[in-house]
Structure 1
Amino acid sequence: MSTRPSAGRYALLVATGEYADPSLDRLRAPQQDVTRLAAVLADPAIGDFTVRTLSDAPEREVRAAIEDLLTDRSDSDLVLLYFSCHGIVDPYHRLYFAASDTVRTRPASTAISRSFVNEQFEACRASAKVLILDCCFAGAFAEGFKSAPQGALDCQVGRGYVVLSACDSYEYAFESDELVASAPRGSIFTDVLIEGLVTGDADLDGDGLVGVDELFRYVHDGVVRRRPEQQPKYSAYNAEPHIYLATVPPVAAVPAPTAVTGPSKVGGPPAVTSYNQHQAIVARGFRVGAELVRRTYGPFGRRMLVEDERGGLHEVADASGIVRLLAGGDTRDRLGSGYLRELVEGIRHRVGDGATTGVVLAQSMLDSASDALRAGANPVALRRGISAAVADVAIELAGLAVPVRTRAELRALATIAAGDELVGDLVAEAVDRVGRDGVIRVEASNLFGLELELTEGMSLRAGHVSPAFVTDQEEGEAVLDEPYLLLVDDRISGAEELLPLLTAVQREGRPLAVFAHEIRDTALGVLVLEKKARRLLSPVAVALPWPAGQRTEALADLAALTGATVVGGGSGPRLADATPDVLGRARRVVTTRSEAVVLAGPDTAEPIVRRYRPPRNEPGPGDATGPVSAERMSRVVGGVAVIKVGEVTVEQRQVRRRQIDHAVRNAKTAAEWGVVAGGGAALLGVHRRLAGRSTAPVPRQRGDDEALGYALVVDALPAPFEELLRSAGRDPTGVPEDLAYRGPGVTFDVVGGRYVVARDAGIIDAAATVREAVTAAAGIVTRYLMLG
């Protein structure tokens, strides 16, 4: 292997993502790319550069730093200057690099000109000079250069002046340069460059060294493969071939530590890392979407412009809307965005609110997990520690939870989840009327606005047996209006048993819902066929695979609600002998994969009311027939609230429906599991209680990776509160520690800027929502840890 001769190696990395001029879009790529590249170049096992970074600096400071880099260099030195920023060209196609105080229309006096940088490079005495430009129109820098390689002896440091550009003189370095949320994605050019240096894959001739010419060929192929419209450029002036930027590390693992002071700077050989390229891809894609979601957080959350896959722009103010639209420009970002979408939609589906809190927690945990992997931590041990921490957080939150006392508290929770006071009022009333076990449905209305209607009905923890029955693909529901119901306390496998009843229902032109112990074989096939052939309007089959006694009770309750006669089971007629008289009727049946809701019609509701709500002084079900299980009582007595929604368009109605669904889930979980102080205060209290258990020795010793996993969960708990303060324009330092010692019922009102009693101020969260945010965030991180 060739040995790189000793020489001074100096690098300046300039990142500008924030601009005072509103016509220059904010970029998120520069800061993250410069941080990662600095770690690679500073690593003594790879770049061995003395690195200085400059972030979001004004034009004057950037000029001074460039002059410092290039002045007083010796003849044996190698210097490297990297720009990640906006590139600007004037009407004469002269190139400028934007600084934080650049005025787009006055680049000559407020930006760093190409001529300034070029003059400084030409005056520098260093033998090898490398300029790397990751900005729009970067190829314009080297117009007029001519590649003139000179001879050089092997093992000598090559001489010359080389420019690597992310694109040619008329291209953008990013897919878009507009003020939309999808524009400032991570740079493909820098990402591929770092990948080539860290993995050693850019060592094309296998000599253990990465030359600048090899690196360019590797980067060019990688960028063009991922984004064909972007063409990196290589230009050289009196350059020799042996300008070596890196040594192939002994263990070419993956993206380097996120900071120059990472594990690689500690004396001795680099730690064997378990961090891999797949994890780097997921982490980057997750971060792209998480950054958008975080900015919508709290009472001062912003509305984001998000670009969908077809290029349309949408104004979105919540996590669910962002993840439904988000489409990463780099196809590799879509995997990480998928993790984010799964996290947000999972939390929303289970508890209705807390998705943004989950994203903030997950990002914090993900960053810590990545650092731990880079330092050589074992992912399986980290996973065990994470699981232990999540269990302890759940216990602590349960201890802090207090019951919901008033409708006003339900209203506050529902309003937060829906982002709409009118929805909050209506949902609080609905939950208060039907109880935590009641069913709340949302239906379309022909009248504008929202309307609450109470009706008889019941729900079953059983769903349709095949996706072929689904009528609403977006919600995954089979919705049957005015259906007949066939209740069978037995298995159905033969189509011939169903045919007489199917023929009778076809003549009526109404849907059929079949509830049975099991529906399979040709019986299931004929129902699916009827659905596809549209001979039978929207059939559905629901299986009740429960113990015989539980199934018999459920079918009896359905029969009382719908006026049906249960077939089979030893006491009813055989299915083969059944006539249409056994069929029941309902106003509506709605099924999902795991639930079935039956709304009673006006002529069938009375029997179940008398059965489970006897008039005063008459015996109840527990008196006449023995104890009735809590599950059975909740199934039939809770009632059904129907919230009717009238909007101009289907899309508006769907948005309103999602608002209500989220609010309902959040209010019902609060009614069941209680509430805790909101605004991140509960998690701060849990952090204080658990922090003493999460201390891992530093530096790491054998066997403490599990403690490290525990710590990364506990250390993330203050993140939501700190994010709320930042979104309100407040300094998070100091407040979290102070709040943690003020008691479990106190929180900080970021709007008023004062400490308040959480319940009196209405700043509360459902305990189950907070617990789900932590659990779901940790679940995403453990999945990420196990990527190979």
Structure 2
Amino acid sequence: MTKLKFGEDFRSPLTEGCRKLWQMVAPLYGPGGKSVWFEPPHDIPMAAGSIKDILPDFTLADPMEMMGVRILGDAAGRVGRSVGCGVGTTVLLAQALLDSGAHMVAAGVNPVLLRQGADRAVEAVVGHIRGHAFGAGDEAVVKNALRTAATDEAAIHALMEAFGRVGYDGIVTVEDSQLMETEVEAGGIRYEYGYASPGFADDPVRKTVTLKQPYILLIDQKLESITELQKLLLEVIEKDAELLIVAREYSRTFLTDILRNVSQKVFRVVAAMAPGHGESRRRNMEALALRCGGVLQTKEKGCILERCGLEVCGRAALAETGKEYTKISGAACRDLSGLDAMGKRITAELELAETPEQKESCQLALAILAGDSAVIRAGGTTEIEMFACKRDMENALLAARSVWHHGAADGGGIGYLEAAHAAEELLSDMDPEMALGVRCVVGALGVPAKCIADNAGENGAAVVARIQARGMPGYGFDAGRKCFCSVARAGIVDPAEALCAALEAGASAALTILTAAAAVVLRRGSCAPGALQCMNLQVPGAYRHIEGGKMNAVIVSCNTLRDELTSALEKCRCPYPVRYLEASLHNVPKKLHAALQAELDRLEDVDYVLLAFGTCGDALCNIHTGDYTTVLPRVDDCITLLLGSAENRKQYPENMATYFLSRGWLRGERNIWVEYQYTMEKFGKEVGESVFGALFGHYRNLGVLDTGCYPIEEIRDETEHIANVLHLQHRVVPASNQYLRELVSGQWPEERFFVFPPHTEMTSEMLHPGLL
């Protein structure tokens, strides 16, 4: 049975979802904005001062309304990640366009012509704002932009101090502080990738390791065995030097051998992870090699590690690495011309970058080349105040960089009002229906200024009318002092790129909804009742909703989930065939990738493949699917899957110090206890305890997952013995197989599952940005 929804029957719930989001956003907007209280899942209620706090957890019961929220929320989120502000502006502009555009479409206006006119108006307004941007490279203007983005003077002072030390292209990181004061620490190259094993940490309190005058070896490949570096390590021993290895990946054998030699004081070596992923990692490592005066070792260059000595290494005065960061100070650059040439190349790539992730990647490489960084530790009298301070500084950081590079525009919504005439000039020779699209955009441009005045307790419509009647450039309303003035002179400015990005994103989201054609609701044997599957059809903006009974499906699962998956299939009465892969394959991601790909290639005559895995690092990257739809939970590993979500995992304060396991892990071919016994047998008790002490030194708890799918008492004696041997506190952690029940029953909400169409390659860009 097929149900069709056309026109208003389809668009109305989408626009209603956007309206509900707008109702939450509008009270927050501007300096007079209020807070909105909400209760995140698995956390205490809190007051949100920004839409960015609400957006991740904003859900509606109606799936069609939620579809509208996701369309608008995604557009707003992209603006925030790109320039730090403009998220609320995106929602306000989009809702204004939806309100006016929906009436026109309902009255019979051609939505395609309406969109064409609106697109031309947006292009004209954006061109005007960029053409009249001011203050690029002016620290006074940047400071004013910071005051708009972050109201706390201590935060503004900390950011300006950080920029003063490392420049606007340097690495500036905002972290939590255990103190009430906000402080700045500057110096050296810093990036957010740390050591490959906690066993390298020699500071028991800070969990860090420091090397003095180290050699720095950079390798863009996986290190399998310590024998690959035999010549180089002998030179390190001979010179009594210290060595920092920065490589793409390390095998467990390599790390075990290095840690054993370090613990026996044969040499002082630390293995750290390379910064970034994929192409960005290669670029970052090339920049790091130039900055430190070393040579990046890659297979493409024909390097043979066995022949390499210290001559390929860079040097630095100091290197410090922790669990989540590496800092290199006093790097010795030998090739200044090469440094300058690479800087120009990356700057050109930055100008062409389209996504926030691409821009961030280029900025990190430029910061490494600059050779300096700063860390701001956000303080506060309470944890809520500290997190609010950190959030504001992160947003202000992006806004300040945007103003420094691209300039500012008049704030308080005045930048839009001044640019409105650029769109009105298009009306003279335009199709009447296209002209209506232009008028929709012109009308929406006054909404931000009106909302700011409304939240300040004034009549927003009257304020906007007075500003437009005065007609003076830069004349606007200061909501803080409740007076009319020249907003730029009063220090009220916004990043020009934020205004442009918010208008482009808001218009795109609204016009996408207005030009949506139809919804096709299919009843077929593919999904459990009530499940919603959104897929693009031939007509732009159309979706299908699949309902019905059982699927023609096969499950491919990690063997560690056998107990939980068996229980889920029984409870949901879904007798799908299951193909299990060995748990030990997780130890070598390449082997897991190959085994999973081979299993998928063997499948025939199946409509759905349900993968009972997490994304498992990079193991699922570049997996090619066949002639079937593939469903994968949006989790990073099986622990998060059994806990229900990453948010559930975060509710345990000791999460980062807890080693989780279940009966499935204990029954695995190479579980932790098997590894422990193997290490003791091969290297002896003294070395074995030293290695495991290093590997588990940062853990405090052994968390046994009680999923309710087997009697927990069956494994309690065994897990308590393991906890005693490893000197960990034994804890039973509540868990469930709810995620697996949703997987097998066909309930696949977009926020919890990836749904890939046939013949898809699962790229890293698809898998990693969407994790819960």
After TM superposition, the score normalised by the length of structure 2 is 0.51
Letter in 1 for 2:98: L
Partner of 2:374: 641
Structure 1 residues 729, 292: closer, same or farther in 2, change over 3 A? same
Letter in 2 for 1:487: L
Which of 449, 454, 466 in structure 2 is aligned with 1:726?
454
Structure 2 counterparts to residues 571-720 of structure 1, below 5 A: 573-578=303-308, 587=319, 599-601=327-329, 604-605=330-331, 607-608=332-333, 621=337, 629=344, 631=346, 635=367, 636-637=369-370, 639-646=372-379, 653-694=386-427, 704-720=432-448
Flag structure 2 segments of 5+ consecutive residues without an equivalent: 198-206, 261-269, 348-364, 516-539, 543-772
1:431–1:664: 8 Å Cα contact kept in structure 2?
A: no
- Secondary structure of the equivalent of 2:376? strand
Which of 334, 338, 356 in structure 1 is aligned with 2:70?
338
Partner of 1:566: 296
1:679–1:721: 8 Å Cα contact kept in structure 2?
A: yes
1:746–1:758: 8 Å Cα contact kept in structure 2?
A: yes
- Secondary structure of the equivalent of 1:760? coil
Q: Provide the rounded CA distance (Å) in 2 between the counterparts of 1:276 and 1:696.
A: 34
Partner of 2:484: 755
- Secondary structure of the equivalent of 1:298? coil
Partner of 1:765: 494
1:442–1:644: 8 Å Cα contact kept in structure 2?
A: yes
Letter in 2 for 1:403: G
Structure 1 residues 446, 751: closer, same or farther in 2, change over 3 A? closer
Structure 1 residues 378, 576: closer, same or farther in 2, change over 3 A? farther
Q: Provide the rounded CA distance (Å) in 2 between the counterparts of 1:693 and 1:681.
A: 20
Deviation, structure 1 residue 775: 1.5
Structure 1 residues 756, 540: closer, same or farther in 2, change over 3 A? same
Letter in 2 for 1:736: V
Structural RMSD (CA):
4.8
- Secondary structure of the equivalent of 1:452? strand
- Secondary structure of the equivalent of 1:644? strand
Q: Provide the rounded CA distance (Å) in 2 between the counterparts of 1:291 and 1:502.
A: 66
Which of 106, 131, 135 in structure 2 is aligned with 1:403?
135
Which of 65, 85, 99 in structure 2 is aligned with 1:353?
85
Q: Provide the rounded CA distance (Å) in 1 between the counterparts of 2:394 and 2:319.
A: 21
Q: Provide the rounded CA distance (Å) in 1 between the counterparts of 2:132 and 2:506.
A: 21
Which of 214, 218, 240 in structure 2 is aligned with 1:487?
218
Task: Deviation per CA, 1:489-526: give whole Å up to 9, x if none.
Answer: xx748957996589989x999996436xxxxxxxx695
Letter in 2 for 1:297: Y
Q: Does 1:385 align with 2:135?
A: no
Structure 1 residues 625, 411: closer, same or farther in 2, change over 3 A? closer
1:457–1:561: 8 Å Cα contact kept in structure 2?
A: no
Partner of 1:238: none
Structure 2 counterparts to residues 534-549 of structure 1, below 5 A: 539-540=273-274, 542=276, 545=279
Deviation, structure 1 residue 430: 2.4
- Secondary structure of the equivalent of 1:443? strand
Deviation, structure 1 residue 395: 0.7
Q: Provide the rounded CA distance (Å) in 2 between the counterparts of 1:729 and 1:551.
A: 53
Which of 46, 49, 53 in structure 2 is aligned with 1:321?
53
2:218–2:245: 8 Å Cα contact kept in structure 1?
A: no
- Secondary structure of the equivalent of 2:541? coil
Letter in 1 for 2:289: A
- Secondary structure of the equivalent of 2:461? coil
Task: Deviation per CA, 1:581-638: give whole Å up to 9, x if none.
Answer: 856677468999xxxx97423xx43x23x865xxxxxxxx59x999973747955237
Q: Which fold has the larger relative contact order, with Cα–Cα distance below 8 Å and residues 6 or more apart in sequence?
A: 2
Structure 2 counterparts to residues 391-470 of structure 1, below 5 A: 391-404=123-136, 407-457=139-189
Query: How many correspondences in the alignment?
Result: 466
Q: Provide the rounded CA distance (Å) in 2 between the counterparts of 1:389 and 1:431.
A: 37
- Secondary structure of the equivalent of 1:759? coil
- Secondary structure of the equivalent of 2:46? strand
- Secondary structure of the equivalent of 2:445? coil
- Secondary structure of the equivalent of 2:186? strand
Structure 1 residues 281, 530: closer, same or farther in 2, change over 3 A? farther
Q: Provide the rounded CA distance (Å) in 1 between the counterparts of 2:242 and 2:77.
A: 37
Letter in 2 for 1:431: F
Task: Deviation per CA, 1:4-40: give whole Å up to 9, x if none.
Answer: xxxxxxxxxxxxxxxxxxxxxxxxxxxxxxxxxxxxx
Q: Provide the rounded CA distance (Å) in 2 between the counterparts of 1:626 and 1:409.
A: 30
Q: Provide the rounded CA distance (Å) in 1 between the counterparts of 2:210 and 2:13.
A: 50
Per mean C-alpha deviation after superposition, the further-off stretch among 673-682 and 407-416 is 407-416
2:150–2:396: 8 Å Cα contact kept in structure 1?
A: yes
Q: Percent identity?
A: 23
Structure 1 residues 528, 384: closer, same or farther in 2, change over 3 A? farther
Structure 1 residues 448, 706: closer, same or farther in 2, change over 3 A? same
Structure 1 residues 693, 496: closer, same or farther in 2, change over 3 A? same
Q: Provide the rounded CA distance (Å) in 1 between the counterparts of 2:416 and 2:132.
A: 10
Partner of 1:787: 541
Structure 1 residues 453, 567: closer, same or farther in 2, change over 3 A? same
Q: Provide the rounded CA distance (Å) in 2 between the counterparts of 1:309 and 1:528.
A: 41
Deviation, structure 1 residue 289: 1.9
Which of 35, 46, 59 in structure 2 is aligned with 1:303?
35
Deviation, structure 1 residue 717: 0.6
Q: Provide the rounded CA distance (Å) in 2 between the counterparts of 1:420 and 1:502.
A: 55
- Secondary structure of the equivalent of 2:444? coil
Flag structure 1 segments of 5+ consecutive residues without an equivalent: 1-200, 202-251, 255-273, 470-478, 516-523, 613-620, 698-702
Q: Provide the rounded CA distance (Å) in 2 between the counterparts of 1:512 and 1:627.
A: 23
Letter in 2 for 1:787: G
Partner of 2:474: 745
Partner of 1:778: 507
After TM superposition, the score normalised by the length of structure 1 is 0.50
Letter in 2 for 1:296: L
Letter in 1 for 2:49: A
Structure 1 residues 625, 354: closer, same or farther in 2, change over 3 A? closer
Q: Provide the rounded CA distance (Å) in 1 between the counterparts of 2:425 and 2:253.
A: 58
Q: Does 1:293 align with 2:25?
A: yes
Q: Provide the rounded CA distance (Å) in 1 between the counterparts of 2:188 and 2:272.
A: 23
Q: Does 1:370 align with 2:102?
A: yes
1:485–1:514: 8 Å Cα contact kept in structure 2?
A: no
Task: Deviation per CA, 1:637-692: give whole Å up to 9, x if none.
Answer: 37322212345777665443322110100011011111111111110011133224
Name which one, 1 or 2, has greater alpha-carbon Rg: 1
Deviation, structure 1 residue 774: 0.8
